[in-house]
Amino acid sequence: MTRKLAVTIAGLAAFGALTLPGTANADPAPPGGCTTWAVGSDGAGARCQYGAGWVRVVVECWNDYNKKINDPGPWVGVGRTSYSYCDGSYPYRGSYRVETRSL
């Protein structure tokens, strides 16, 4: 029993030494280098240049009765562009911003 236990412990130690590096893996960098810009009179775009994760633009849209909604664009990968436009009953663009999600 003692020999079997020693072999098992030695095997697990060797497995751990082979599969676990000496340093821990760092989390990937979050999205960065992000920019937003107006698109026409009713939309906006957002893009991040580096990091790992997702990005989207969120546009504030207003109506004639001074009511607003936030209209998010689709989540896209870093290096791609997310667009959103105000239309229908909320046709007027207000502010816009970028949102990010890390991996």
Higher pLDDT: 61 or 13? It is: 61
State pLDDT tens for residues 50-80.
Answer: 999 999 999 999 999 999 999 999 999 999 9
Let me know if residue 46 belongs to a domain: yes
Q: What total number of domains does the chain contain? A: 1
Q: pLDDT of 83-94, one tens digit each?
A: 999 999 999 999
Does residue 7 fall inside a structural domain? no
Domain that holds residue 63: 30-102
Residue 72 in any domain: the answer is: yes
Q: Is residue 89 situated within a structural domain?
A: yes
Q: Find the helix or strand (DSSP H, E) in which 70 lies.
A: strand 68-72
Please give the Cα distance from 10 to 80 (Å, whole number).
Answer: 49
Confidence of residue 21 (pLDDT cuts 50, 70, 90): low
Q: Is residue 1 part of a domain?
A: no
- Whether residue 24 lies inside any domain: the answer is no
Q: Is residue 6 part of a domain?
A: no
Establish if 10 belongs to a structural domain.
Answer: no
Residue 16 has pLDDT above 90, yes or no: no
pTM, entire model: 0.74
